[in-house]
Amino acid sequence: MKRRDFLNLGGCAATAALASGIPGLSLAAGTKMPVLILIELNGGNDSHNTVLDLNQLSVYKQLRPQLGLAQDERVNLDKNFALHRSLAGFKDPWKSGELALVHGLGYPQANKSHFRSIEIWDMASAHDEYLTAGWLANVLPKISKSEIDALIFGRNGSAFAGGATSHIQLDNLQSYFKKVKGVKGQQQRAANSALQHLLGLNQTIVDSKALLMRGLAKEVKLKTEFPKNPFGRQMADIAKVICMDLQIPAFKIALGSFDTHKSQKGKHQQLLKQLADGMLALRAELIASGHWNDVLMMTYSEFGRRAAQNGSGGSDHGTAASHFLLGGRVRGGHFGAYPSLSELVDRDVMYSTDFRAVYQSVVRQWWGQPQFSLSSGLDDLKLIHV
């Protein structure tokens, strides 16, 4: 990859946060940095048409006479579960034990507002708890070996905001270099706290620019063809940065909108295909580069959808959902319990696994922080080979 090619695309916005951290977290010296990639399915993905419980097909068809997937619109994962046919490529990592499905994810008294619920998922809060820092905001600085703790591609960096994490939000790598070309560091301190905060943000941009320029010198050339859509191009950028070996521990990317209130089938099929194609291209690239065992992809969304179809050929805001973890050291299989489609509360399925249990298990197992806790009483999910 030539430098002149690297500096030649789209727009960006840069943000950062600087504050105190959580005591007691650190990564062992000499340990290679494990990388987490958060994939937000923005808008509330319809989990019931993403992962199907084949043991509940009769109820599923009653609830979704038009919206439900026919046999030729799904692929069997095993004898009990099927995936939307757009996710057929997931069968390969499933067979090799690299894909985990966590079912019934949610939280008590679920909020079905887009804005409030995604805040709850990003902050790892209870439904009535208002936190000021994202669930990774004070984790990453304690384990990171890089000047930059996270790169956010596209929308919503709230999982990293409000704490000690130094992070950058951008659209793509090339436009980022173009926008920050003239940014220089500021050495002085300001008496005004607001101005000092802005100077800190400026310094984070300078640090990220220098870090990525060091990576650029490695002339990374991708071996895999990534999809020619925004999600695919951003996944290609993530692959480039990982292959630069810059020790950045976390990335975030979003795909959407999954807010499929009407005419869902076609749109949902397209979105799930983009998701699968992008994730599988990244997997192929990182297998080829030798980084796959050090990378974990995890999907999340503000909520699922209701069990029954609505009158507009779509689905409305719901509660519990299934999500994916994909990586070279993932313990493949099913976790949690798929919600009953016949035992509904106010037309919603009931959650079985608190989403914070996934977050807590990931920090403990992926980054080797066994004492880390988000909340008491959470299940310990054995998601990662350690």
Domain positions in the chain: 3-366
Within the chain, which residues score under 50 in pLDDT? Answer: 1-21, 190, 194-201
Q: How far is CA 376 from CA 119, 124, 125, 251, in A?
A: 20, 13, 12, 27
**Residue 176, pLDDT score:** 77
**Residue 197, pLDDT score:** 45
Angstrom distance (rounded) from CA 48 to CA 171: 31
Q: 93 φ, ψ to 5°?
A: -65, -25
**Residue 253, pLDDT score:** 98
CB under 8 Å to 222, separation ≥6 — which residues?
A: 236, 239, 240, 243, 285
**Residue 92, pLDDT score:** 98
Identify the sign of the CA torsion 307, 312, 313, 316.
negative
**Residue 188, pLDDT score:** 52
Q: Please state the pTM of the whole predicted model.
A: 0.88
Side chain identity at residue 56, one-letter code: Q
CATH number of the structural domain 3-366: 3.40.720
CB under 8 Å to 199, separation ≥6 — which residues?
A: 186, 188, 189, 190
Q: How far is CA 238 from CA 12, 235, 253, in A?
A: 15, 5, 9
**Residue 22, pLDDT score:** 59
Angstrom distance (rounded) from CA 17 to CA 337: 37
Q: What DSSP string describes 290-353? A: T-GGGEEEEEE-S--B-SS--TTSS--B-S-EEEEEEETTB--EEES-PPPSSS-BTTBPPP-E
HSE value, Cβ hemisphere, 13 Å, CA-based, for 313: 7
**Residue 27, pLDDT score:** 74
Side chain identity at residue 319, one-letter code: T
